[in-house]
Structure 1
Amino acid sequence: MPALVLRLLLLLALLSIELTQAAEVVVHASRQGGVLLVEASAEIEADLLQTWGVLTDYDHLSGFIPGMYVSRVLARDGNRLLLEQKGEARLLFLTYPIEVRLAVAEFPHERIVARAVAGNFREMVGTYSLAARDNRVTLRYEGRLVPDFFVPPLIGTLVLRRNVERQFSALVDEIARRQRGALEKRDR
């Protein structure tokens, strides 16, 4: 009988882990002339501070964001910083290198606004926003991109949507992973 109870508890623990990871990521991408627009969102079973901590862990983003090879803070002054990121966007046999320096403004626990100041984008502006309610966080991203390299019109939005979907999902998964770790640590 104790073995059955132990198995049941293990099953419930595994189910709760799966539920934490089951945040649905929704991504929409469109193109208006040479401008690529993207929106992504997910509702995560996580603490606002934990979510903010992952979003602002700039020097470690390349450790869990697919296609990102470098992410490092070059300078910081309070809630403003200069961030360098390098990586690539891929679709099938096409690879697009990404190199950008971002001026980032943090509005703690509410919003992060990043704007390209150097790199291979003529324009790149992105905003993460957070809203907390009942032990859940709604995370949203809105981006406006004008690459300084050719992106074929028919596949540009597909490349953008697929890459943002992969990267945003990885971000959500990392938030869930750290949230589980914090809960396990607390329960010890």
Structure 2
Amino acid sequence: MIDFFSPVKNGAPRKSPRPALAYRLPHLRRVAILFLLLLSFVAFGAEPEMLVAVEKRGDAFLVDATIAIPVPLRIAWAVLTDFDNMVGILSNLTLSRIIRRKGSSVFVMQEGTARYGIFSYAFASVREIQLEPMKRILAIQLTGNAKRFESEMELSETSKGTHLRYRAEVVPDSAISRTFGGPFIQHEVEEQFALMAAEMIRRKAQ
């Protein structure tokens, strides 16, 4: 997953002369992306089931998401841990690579641009990712402008494919995250899950 809460620069977004448009565009963009992904799911004869909830608690946002994907566990794991090729999976990444390995952990550097309606900002982060093969992925931000970012992904095999449970605790330090809060974070998580699910289904079809 992208650490989309860690911008390189932190500036306040410009005010739009038509405020309602700022809220309409993120929704339209998400609908367009999910529609295109739905077409790909139909083409491959499969569709994931996704549920994402975001709760604000003090300065932190708590993410709790589940996704059921009709692919074998080994394919889901391969996509989720394909850090060196993640640029080809997630559309708003420009760089993703493993810079170090230590035991069961990998250290991943990522850069890119997050967008929400008419707003965008560049981000960069380094995370330590602890891997428990085919079972769990723990991520902790080491550098980046987020005040705190930790996440856990649990994987389990079902009769229909793979079930993912994703939980994260984030204290953002970017203007766009603070301004739009929960809706922005939910939008990013949903979009990333949808893109990774599409890649899993594409690899299964191969």
TM-score range, shorter chain: 0.7 to 0.9
| SS class of match (1:169) | helix
Q: 1:27 to 1:78 in 2, by over 3 A?
A: same
TM-score in terms of structure 2 length = 0.74
Asked if 1:143 is matched to 2:171, the reply is: no
Supply the AA of the counterpart residue of 1:63: G
Partner Cα separation in structure 1 for residue 120 and residue 164 of structure 2: 28
Aligned to 2:55: 30
Supply the AA of the counterpart residue of 1:144: E
Q: Percent identity?
A: 27
Aligned to 2:77: 52
CA contact (8 A) 1:23 1:172 kept: yes
CA contact (8 A) 1:68 1:86 kept: yes
The correspondence for 1:97, drawn from 109, 122, 132, is: 122
Partner Cα separation in structure 1 for residue 84 and residue 164 of structure 2: 20
Shift of 1:98: 2.4
Aligned to 1:155: 180
Higher strand content, 1 or 2: 1
Which stretch shifts more, 36-45 or 121-130? 36-45
The correspondence for 2:45, drawn from 8, 11, 19, is: 19
C-alpha RMSD of matched pairs (Å): 2.0
**Moved >4 Å (runs of 4+):** 14-18, 151-154
| Count of matched residue positions in the alignment of Structure 1 and Structure 2 | 167
Q: 1:128 to 1:24 in 2, by over 3 A?
A: same
Supply the AA of the counterpart residue of 1:126: S
Aligned to 1:8: none
Listed one character per residue, the Cα deviations across residues 117-166 of structure 1 (whole Å, up to 9, x for unaligned) are 10111111111110102251001211111123334656211111111111
Listed one character per residue, the Cα deviations across residues 88-137 of structure 1 (whole Å, up to 9, x for unaligned) are 32211222432111011000000000000101111111111101022510
Supply the AA of the counterpart residue of 1:170: L
Gaps of 5+ in 2: 1-39
CA contact (8 A) 1:122 1:148 kept: yes
Listed one character per residue, the Cα deviations across residues 40-63 of structure 1 (whole Å, up to 9, x for unaligned) are 221111111111111111011111
Partner Cα separation in structure 2 for residue 51 and residue 67 of structure 1: 20
The correspondence for 1:78, drawn from 96, 103, 106, is: 103
